[in-house]
């Protein structure tokens, strides 16, 4: 798989072409650059508008005359981004921590252990992938409020409602299982000779060998937590635990026609994810390709 | 050496965990331990909601949990008499599935020369247990949901909660189901024990309990659906007697069923025509075409009457979802395939392009949707309108335009809403969808291209095949599993889509961009009609299941697994 993504894959057709090498790919590059432009222009436009003043932003200018950096400060203060930013970080961290533990254990059981009902449980798990989010809104909202009312801590407007339902997902377990199954069997045999049980084998051998997979999982769940919108709208009625996407969504209405502030808020919302993506893009894209194709 | 009486049972227990059998048992127990946390979460927030939603969908009320029992009333409100049609054929399909599972494994058992019908006892036992578990959940739910109401104020103590929980669990209606569960488990375990100990059976190595379990669960579900449908039907008949109105359920039922049967028949005829000799094939194809037209005509003639009974907003949201699917999936797959094939050459900057293409998919939806809202805004100075203005085209309302695109293209003729195509506002959302997902598809296509053996191209090149024949006869067929996966993934994805559509929604678009998920969300969050929202969500799930089955059927014939 990795070889398919990164290795130099030669297409024989390219070699057969008789045109001079300079122009051989001219048409290809034209299309590829066009595609790249379409992908990136909205982002550039966002940054551009975020630095305009009010007249420029509403007047349809393409570039700001002088960059207005204080738009960011104004948007930050006006939308209470400090709180929302911190909330999203907290929510993402708790979700990711839970997900790593729960999904690693479950994925290991599915990948390496034999037990009665394995196929049944695994197909039940995969069936949840087909469920639309819409079907879980009502039941989960009721469940979460119920748990909060009868239990020791409230769930609505608090971290449990925002994190616990996402601490195990079929997608993550499936992704990790795919990676765990690629670990050669010989390692398990030699670990058994050394007297290691399943738990020690998982901690000492499998996890160190699957750092890339765990990294992918961390990225996926971090971005998932950062992007969530519908569920936070349902379970946060106060700003205490409201994540940044919901905060920004409310700010779009609040800022109204002040497009420069809207776009400054948009940049603030997107930056952490995009930075994370640029630092880890290779792991990320390969993770998507692996999990996607094998599905 | 004397043994204390205590140590004998302990040794007996320990014997379970030694030896080959013991190791297997130990491993299984450890595996269940590993699975427990994940399955607690997935079970409570991923699987249980399905049962809970089905339960809620039979209740009505504003901001009330669970509300009052109303049978299939919510479904009648959403899709009118089509409910009876779905109920009847749902029962038929479940029974067919049950019988087919049994028939298939009976054949398999015969091939293996293995006894079969004995397995019915444990199989049905476990099936009864599973069905009784579902029944237990449904009986327990209203009692559990009532607990917070009894814990108001000073009663809100853990002791009180434990007492109320105990009362709910030991209530007669829950205990009834509990006994049924235990009885099923007992019969199942006993039957299994007898069968696996029988030396004649053990040799054949076949376990055929599963199809019976499956069939029992299907029949129980069929019974529940049939009972609900029948109760609703009787209510409807009683109503129409008192109101003196006519009853068009039967005619509708027969006409719609006939329509679908004709469509199915035409598909069968068409398929059987493809491997017959020419003369018969022509006749079969003609018959197929005739059945297709007749069936389609019956359905189209009947549709307005049925749709008029249902919730217009819901029907329109389904139509909008179909438009959104049709408008995003083909373009994004074609763009992605072209880009992937171009990228899959020995060129500089491959990874650079990949990173850029993937960016729209990874960026938070709310952020990018907000930009699109501005780029496609109705102001004359907005980017897209100013580009149009550069070419002398008057500005359009884009994201605020509720009119269908066919109406905009043909200003002279005023088409009715249902035939005017997606609104321009929905088209903007489609553009956003394509923009977001083409990079994702490109990455998957690239991985699929990497799996095609290079020798195939080399062989084709030696045979003198050019670029296009190579693409047509090697790349496309060998990429078909990827194309199939992406199609299925995108169909399910577009039917689930919510976040960006909700953000790109404007009041001026008059709800023409509200897809099924958006309508469900608003029914729940804004209108607090929990039962109705659940019923709509179940209907959406049915649509997704049907689409998946159809997609699989098409793929069976078209996908080439090299």
For A257, the closest chain B residue by CA position comes to B374
Average confidence (pLDDT) over A5-13:
42
Average confidence (pLDDT) over A102-128:
90
Question: Domain boundary at B200, B224, B247, which?
Answer: B247
DSSP calls for B459-528: HHHHTT--HHHHIIIIIHHHHHHHHHHHHHHHHHHHHH--HHHHHH--GGGTTTT--HHHHHHHHHHTT-
Reported as half-sphere exposure (CB side, CA atoms, 13 A), residue B525 has a value of: 17
Confidence (pLDDT) at A107: 93
DSSP calls for B424-456: HHHHHHHHHHHHHHHHHHHHHHHHHHHTS-HHH
Domain match, B218 and B275 both: no
Chain B 543-562, residues with CB within 8 Å of chain A CB atoms: 544-545, 548
Domain match, B280 and B160 both: no
Domain match, B221 and B85 both: yes
CB contact under 8 A, A293 and B362: no
Question: Domain boundary at B309, B333, B355, which?
Answer: B309
Average confidence (pLDDT) over A50-55:
85
H helix count then E strand count, chain B? 24, 2
In a mutational test of the B interface, the residue from A10, A57, A59, A132 whose CB has the highest number of chain B CBs within 10 Å is A132
Domain match, B269 and B198 both: no
Q: What is the pLDDT of residues B302-342, one digit of tens each?
A: 777 777 788 889 999 999 999 999 999 999 999 999 999 98
Measured distance CA(B126)–CA(B190) in Å, rounded: 11
Q: What is the pLDDT of residues A246-288, one digit of tens each?
A: 999 988 888 777 888 889 999 999 999 999 888 888 877 777 7
Residue B55 belongs to a domain: no
For B37, the closest chain A residue by CA position comes to A102
Residue B456 belongs to a domain: no
CB contact under 8 A, B37 and A106: yes
Confidence (pLDDT) at B559: 67
CB contact under 8 A, B31 and A109: yes
Domain match, B293 and B272 both: yes
Residue B476 belongs to a domain: no
The candidate with the shortest Cα–Cα distance to B306, out of B82, B60, B37, B133, is B82
Query: CB distance from A239 to chain B under 8 Å?
Result: no
Cα A18 to chain centroid distance, Å, stands at 44
**3-state SS assignment for residue B4:** coil
User: Positive or negative, the Cα torsion across B381, B387, B392, B394?
Assistant: negative
DSSP calls for B260-302: HHHHHHHHHHHHHHTTS-HHHHHHHHHHHHHHHHHHHHHHHHH
Domain match, B96 and B175 both: yes
Which residues of A are less than 8 Å from B353 in CB distance?
32, 35-36
CB contact under 8 A, B56 and A223: no
Measured distance CA(B184)–CA(B127) in Å, rounded: 7
In a mutational test of the A interface, the residue from B148, B163, B369, B371 whose CB has the highest number of chain A CBs within 10 Å is B371
Domain match, B295 and B184 both: no
Which residues of A are less than 8 Å from B524 in CB distance?
137-138, 141, 234
Measured distance CA(B196)–CA(B209) in Å, rounded: 11
* Confidence class for position A59, pLDDT limits 50, 70, 90: confident
**What interhelical angle do B476-496 and B530-558 show, nearest 10?**
170
CA distance B285 to chain A (A): 36
Domain match, B225 and B271 both: no
Q: What is the pLDDT of residues B151-166, one digit of tens each?
A: 877 777 888 888 888 9
Question: Domain boundary at B227, B247, B267, which?
Answer: B247
Confidence (pLDDT) at B147: 87
Q: Which residues of chain B have pLDDT under 70?
A: 1-18, 198-206, 244-248, 274-277, 417-418, 558-562
Exposed/middle/buried for A73, CB within 10 Å: 0-12, 13-18, 19+?
exposed
Domain match, B185 and B126 both: yes
Residue B154 belongs to a domain: yes
Residue B271 belongs to a domain: yes
Confidence (pLDDT) at B435: 95
Query: CB distance from B73 to chain A under 8 Å?
Result: no
In the predicted model, is pLDDT for residue A4 greater than 70? no
Confidence (pLDDT) at B68: 87
Query: Number of folded domains in chain B?
Result: 2
Confidence (pLDDT) at A19: 53
Residue B193 belongs to a domain: yes
Q: What is the pLDDT of residues A203-255, one digit of tens each?
A: 888 888 888 888 888 888 888 888 889 999 999 988 889 999 999 998 888 87
Backbone angles phi, psi at A168, to 5 degrees: -145, 130
| Domain housing B288 | 248-309
Confidence (pLDDT) at B360: 92
Confidence (pLDDT) at B408: 77
The residues, ordered by sequence, that sit 6+ positions from A144 with a Cβ below 8 Å of its Cβ are A155, A156, A160, A161, A165, A235
For B210, the closest chain A residue by CA position comes to A120
Measured distance CA(A239)–CA(A262) in Å, rounded: 19
ipTM score for this prediction: 0.87
**Residue A285 near residue B354 (C-beta atoms within 8 A):** yes
Residue B519 belongs to a domain: no
Which residues of A are less than 8 Å from B548 in CB distance?
130
Domain match, B176 and B207 both: yes
Chain B 410-439, residues with CB within 8 Å of chain A CB atoms: 435, 438-439
Measured distance CA(A82)–CA(A79) in Å, rounded: 8
Query: CB distance from A1 to chain B under 8 Å?
Result: yes
Domain match, B141 and B230 both: yes
Domain match, B93 and B237 both: yes
Residue B324 belongs to a domain: no
Instruction: For strands B59-60 and B68-69, give the pairing.
Output: antiparallel
Mean pLDDT over each residue of chain A, to the nearest integer:
83
In a mutational test of the A interface, the residue from B156, B359, B366, B528 whose CB has the highest number of chain A CBs within 10 Å is B366
């Amino acid at each position: 798989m990795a070889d398919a993504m990164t290795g130099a894959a030669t297409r024989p057709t390219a070699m057969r072409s008789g045109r001079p090498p300079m122009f051989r790919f001219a048409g290809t590059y034209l299309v590829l650059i066009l595609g790249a432009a379409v992908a990136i222009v909205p982002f550039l436009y966002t940054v551009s508008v975020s630095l305009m003043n009010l007249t420029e932003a509403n007047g349809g200018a393409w570039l700001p005359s002088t960059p207005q950096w204080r738009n960011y400060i104004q948007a930050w203060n006006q939308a209470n981004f400090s709180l929302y930013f911190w909330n999203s970080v907290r929510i993402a961290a708790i979700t990711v921590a839970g997900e790593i533990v729960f999904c690693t254990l479950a994925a290991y059981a599915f990948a390496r252990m034999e037990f009665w009902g394995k196929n049944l449980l695994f197909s039940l798990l995969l069936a949840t992938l087909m469920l639309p989010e819409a079907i879980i809104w009502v039941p989960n909202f009721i469940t979460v409020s119920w748990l909060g009312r009868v239990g020791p801590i409230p769930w609505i407007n608090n971290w449990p409602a925002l994190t616990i339902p996402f601490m195990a997902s079929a997608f993550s377990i499936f992704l990790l299982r795919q990676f765990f199954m690629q670990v050669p069997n010989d390692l398990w045999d030699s670990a058994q000779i050394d007297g290691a049980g399943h738990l020690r084998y998982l901690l000492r051998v499998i996890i160190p060998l699957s750092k890339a997979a765990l990294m992918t999982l961390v990225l996926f769940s971090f971005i998932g937590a950062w992007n969530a919108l519908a569920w936070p709208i349902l379970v946060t009625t106060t700003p205490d635990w409201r994540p940044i996407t919901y905060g920004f969504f409310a700010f779009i209405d609040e800022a109204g026609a002040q497009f420069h502030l809207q776009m400054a808020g948009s940049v603030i919302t997107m930056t952490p994810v995009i930075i994370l993506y640029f630092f880890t893009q290779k792991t990320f894209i390969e993770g998507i390709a692996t999990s996607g194709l094998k599905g | 050496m004397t043994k204390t009486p205590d140590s004998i049972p302990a040794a007996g227990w320990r014997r379970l965990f030694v030896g080959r059998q013991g190791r297997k048992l130990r491993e299984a127990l450890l595996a269940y331990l590993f699975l427990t946390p994940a399955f607690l979460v997935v079970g409570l927030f991923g699987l249980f909601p399905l049962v809970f939603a089905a339960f809620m969908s039979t209740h009505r009320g504003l901001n009330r949990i669970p509300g009052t029992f109303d049978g299939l009333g919510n479904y009648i409100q959403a899709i009118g008499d089509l409910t009876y049609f779905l109920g009847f054929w749902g029962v038929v399909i479940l029974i067919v599935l049950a019988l087919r599972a049994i028939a298939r494994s009976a054949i398999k058992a015969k091939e293996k020369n293995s006894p079969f019908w004995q397995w019915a006892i444990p199989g049905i036992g476990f099936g009864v247990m599973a069905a009784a578990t579902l029944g237990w959940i449904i009986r327990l739910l209203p009692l559990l949901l009532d607990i917070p109401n009894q814990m108001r104020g000073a009663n809100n103590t853990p002791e009180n909660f434990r007492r109320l929980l105990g009362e709910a669990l030991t209530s007669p209606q829950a205990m009834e189901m509990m006994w049924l569960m235990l009885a099923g488990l007992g019969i199942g375990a006993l039957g299994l024990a007898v069968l696996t100990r029988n030396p004649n059976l053990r040799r054949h190595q076949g376990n055929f309990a599963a199809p019976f379990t499956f069939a029992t669960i299907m029949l129980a579900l069929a019974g529940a659906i049939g009972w609900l449908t029948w109760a609703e039907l009787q209510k409807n008949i009683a109503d129409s007697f008192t109101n003196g109105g006519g009853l068009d359920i039967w005619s509708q039922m027969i006409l719609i069923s006939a329509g679908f049967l004709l469509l199915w028949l035409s598909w069968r005829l068409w398929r059987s025509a493809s491997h017959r000799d020419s003369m018969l094939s022509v006749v079969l194809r003609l018959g197929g075409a005739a059945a297709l037209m007749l069936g389609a005509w019956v359905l189209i003639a009947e549709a307005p009457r049925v749709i008029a009974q249902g919730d217009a907003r819901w029907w329109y949201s389904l139509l909008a979802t179909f438009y959104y699917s049709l408008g995003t999936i083909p373009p994004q797959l074609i763009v992605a395939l072209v880009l992937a094939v171009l990228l899959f050459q020995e060129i500089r900057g491959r990874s650079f392009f990949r990173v850029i293409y993937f960016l729209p998919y990874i960026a938070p939806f709310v952020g990018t949707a907000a930009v699109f809202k501005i780029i496609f805004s109705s102001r004359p100075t907005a980017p897209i309108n100013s580009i149009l203005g550069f070419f002398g085209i008057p500005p359009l309302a884009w994201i605020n335009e509720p009119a269908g695109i066919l109406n905009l293209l043909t200003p002279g003729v005023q088409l009715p809403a249902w035939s005017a195509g997606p609104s321009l506002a929905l088209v903007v959302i489609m553009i956003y969808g394509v923009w977001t997902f083409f990079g994702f598809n490109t990455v998957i296509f690239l991985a699929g291209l990497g799996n095609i053996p290079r020798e195939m191209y080399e062989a084709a090149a030696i045979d003198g095949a050019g670029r296009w024949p190579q693409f047509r006869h090697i790349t496309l067929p060998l990429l078909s599993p990827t194309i199939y996966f992406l199609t299925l993934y995108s169909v399910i994805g577009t039917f689930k889509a919510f976040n960006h559509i909700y953000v790109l929604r404007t009041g001026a678009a008059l709800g023409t961009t509200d897809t099924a998920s958006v309508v469900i969300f608003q029914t729940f969050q804004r209108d607090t009609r929990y039962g109705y929202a659940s019923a709509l969500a179940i209907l959406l799930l049915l649509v997704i299941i049907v689409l998946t089955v159809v997609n699989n059927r098409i793929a069976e014939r078209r996908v080439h697994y090299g």
